[in-house]
């Protein structure tokens, strides 16, 4: 039997040329918007001294993860929508899968730390500065990255431990683990079980922390704040939870359901949801509804126009 040395990403191959052109325009626009918005957030959270709180420190890192995440999958998909050749080498498939795992896991963990940060800010405002010190924040972000990197190695090993000697057509627009494993020779069941177990740990433990944090926040708000204060906190929490629900449900669908229910028509919408829609919604949901963020953006634009005026 022939060893597989490359894969073919089927992606949107079956679509008509006009549909592909439309998808290209759509994804290019979404990708550009997501890059611009996340880039702006990274820039202002790093340069504006007024955004010096842990919340913005985490937000800047979330945006950085989003930029990494969409860049591992979307540019390649855009190229494949235009060119006829959809082959990817074995190595580039492995690298792409590793990056998706690594960044995706880091993002799940970071979202949990962000929920914890909101919990401390709302429920323990007096000791907030002590609990969420700069050192703690740096350690938490470091921990999210570390788990992502380590977990990526495990998942990568499980995905590629069997040889590939069958079909090399991947029914998606990027190298997604469950689909790649199904193509391997030998017993894919064991690998799928490990990935399923890993997804339970990696997706559900942050989820528990997030739900617990928000439940306590809600209890605390209902117990004391005035109705105006309540509304503001509610809207913040609701927006955070929206991001979380989008990311987690799409990732759970892709990695935690039995193989038999997978199919290109089912996989692609969910893959799109967590590879491009969530990274694009994060900046909108987390920051553009936020007064301090808007102020920082106005200041950044003002500084830029000042600098240009002086250079002229």
pLDDT at residue number 150: 95
pLDDT at residue number 225: 59
Alpha helix ranges (H) inside 161-290: 177-183, 188-199, 205-224, 227-255, 264-272, 278-286
State CA 185 to chain mean position distance.
30
pLDDT at residue number 246: 76
| 6-9 β-sheet, strand order | 87-89, 6-9, 169-170
pLDDT digits (tens, 9 = 90+) for 8-53: 998 888 888 899 999 999 999 999 999 999 999 899 888 888 888 8
pLDDT at residue number 242: 77
| Closest CA relative to residue 248, chosen from 105, 81, 86, 80 | 105
pLDDT at residue number 274: 76
Low-confidence ranges of the chain (pLDDT < 50): 1, 260
Using CA atoms of 226, 231, 234, 238 in order, give the dihedral in degrees to the nearest 10. Answer: 180
pTM: 0.88
| Closest CA relative to residue 15, chosen from 31, 33, 27 | 27
pLDDT digits (tens, 9 = 90+) for 183-220: 888 788 888 888 888 888 888 889 889 989 988 988 88
Question: What does the angle CA 155 – CA 161 – CA 162 come to, to the nearest 5 degrees?
Answer: 135
pLDDT at residue number 288: 63
Please state which architecture CATH assigns to domain 6-303: Up-down Bundle (1.20)
Q: Six-digit token pair at 303? A: 């500084």
Locate tokens 């990568």: which residue? 156
Contact by Cβ (8 Å): 277, 249: no
pLDDT at residue number 195: 86
Domain ranges of the chain: 6-303
């Amino acid at each position: 039997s022939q060893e597989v040395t490359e894969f073919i990403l089927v992606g949107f191959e079956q679509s008509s040329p006009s549909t592909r052109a439309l998808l290209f325009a759509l994804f290019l626009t979404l990708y550009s918007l997501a890059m611009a918005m996340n880039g702006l957030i990274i820039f202002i959270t790093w340069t504006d001294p007024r955004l010096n709180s842990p919340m913005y420190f985490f937000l800047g890192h979330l945006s950085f993860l989003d930029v990494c995440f969409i860049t591992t999958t979307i540019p390649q998909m855009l190229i494949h929508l235009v060119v006829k050749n959809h082959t990817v080498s074995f190595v580039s498939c492995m690298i792409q899968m590793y990056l998706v795992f690594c960044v995706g896991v880091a993002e799940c963990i970071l979202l949990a730390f962000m929920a914890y940060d909101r919990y401390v800010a709302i429920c323990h405002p007096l000791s907030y500065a002590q609990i969420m010190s700069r050192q703690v924040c740096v350690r938490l972000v470091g921990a999210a990255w570390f788990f992502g990197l380590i977990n990526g190695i495990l998942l990568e090993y499980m995905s590629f431990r069997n040889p590939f000697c069958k079909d090399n057509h991947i029914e998606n627009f990027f190298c997604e683990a469950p689909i790649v494993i199904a193509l391997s020779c030998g017993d894919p069941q064991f690998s799928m079980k490990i990935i399923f177990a890993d997804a339970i740990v990696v997706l559900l433990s942050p989820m528990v922390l997030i739900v617990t944090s928000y439940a306590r926040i809600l209890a605390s708000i209902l117990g004391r704040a005035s109705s105006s204060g309540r509304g503001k906190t509610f809207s913040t929490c609701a927006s955070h939870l929206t991001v979380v629900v989008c990311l987690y449900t799409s990732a759970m669908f892709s990695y935690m359901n039995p193989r038999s229910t997978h199919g290109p028509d089912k996989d692609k919408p969910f893959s799109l949801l967590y590879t491009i829609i969530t990274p694009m919604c994060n900046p909108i949901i987390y920051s553009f509804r936020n007064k301090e963020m808007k102020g920082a953006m106005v200041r950044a634009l003002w500084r830029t126009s000042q600098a240009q005026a002086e250079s002229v």
